[in-house]
Chains A and B, each alone.
Chain A
Amino acid sequence: KNEVEQSPQNLTAQEGEFITINCSYSVGISALHWLQQHPGGGIVSLFMLSSGKKKHGRLIATINIQEKHSSLHITASHPRDSAVYICAVGQGAQKLVFGQGTRLTINP
């Protein structure tokens, strides 16, 4: 079993829908990161969480430390949100352990 599990692996939705991507982890962490990998391959850091909730534009990330679970939400989804979303947990000093990613496709 992977230390970081994401679900779903693939998600297709219509423009405007509310999107939720889940991340569960089985190890103690110091922080959790959400990353976005564009179709061209580039990676952008979206959020870093150690507790609670963060919001940036249409993106919301939450984390429940007790349940070892985080969610990434996208409101009013748009085709340009189509990408792979990656959950990564930070252990110890600086090492990141990554989930397999969720491939999101938003159709117009």
Chain B
Amino acid sequence: NAGVMQNPRHLVRRRGQEARLRCSPMKGHSHVYWYRQLPEEGLKFMVYLQKENIIDESGMPKERFSAEFPKEGPSILRIQQVVRGDSAAYFCASSPRGGRASDTQYFGPGTRLTVL
């Protein structure tokens, strides 16, 4: 049973380009969470999605960032017109159930985004 998959593992973009980060949850998991870890900082919640629904996006920057989790395929975190401050590690986690902070979340290996 494969764990949470994220790709790419490393992504380099120039300022102004778009970044697309993909997350495939564990088999049977329909709840996905995205977190961001800025250099030398702790993890911060960004967004929580179920299949085809955004449940909580209170941690998402108001502009340039969007997330989706379609019925088929991976969850996508999209960053438009990237800036240097977007450079960070982006982690995805999944859980079999959702809606409760007591649910164990299984983390992917992360995507390290570098904006030149």
Contact = CB atoms under 8 A, between A and B. Distances in A.
A42 B107 contact: yes
Interface string B88-116: 01010100001111111111011010000
Given A94-B99, A96-B101, A100-B42, A41 B112 contact: yes
Contact of A48 (B44, B59, B104, B107): B104
B28 to A, nearest CB: 17
A50 interface: yes
Given A43-B107, A44-B107, A45-B107, A98 B43 contact: yes
Given A88-B43, A98-B43, A41 B101 contact: no
Contacts, number: 76
B: contact size bracket: 20 to 34
A92 B103 CA distance: 12
A99 B42 contact: yes
Interface in B7-59: 31, 33, 35, 41-45, 48, 55-56, 58-59
A95 B45 contact: yes
Interface of A: 29-31, 33, 35, 41-45, 48, 50, 86, 88-101
Given A41-B110, A44-B107, A93-B56, 16 more contacts: A29-B101, A30-B101, A31-B101, A41-B89, A43-B110, A45-B104, A48-B104, A86-B43, A93-B98, A94-B31, A94-B98, A94-B99, A94-B100, A94-B103, A97-B45, A98-B35
Q: Which 9 A-B pairs have the closest CB atoms?
A: A90-B101, A31-B102, A43-B107, A98-B43, A30-B101, A100-B42, A98-B42, A42-B109, A93-B99
21 contacts: A29-B101, A30-B101, A31-B101, A31-B102, A41-B110, A42-B110, A43-B91, A89-B101, A90-B100, A90-B102, A92-B101, A93-B101, A94-B99, A94-B103, A95-B58, A95-B101, A96-B105, A98-B35, A100-B41, A100-B42, A101-B42
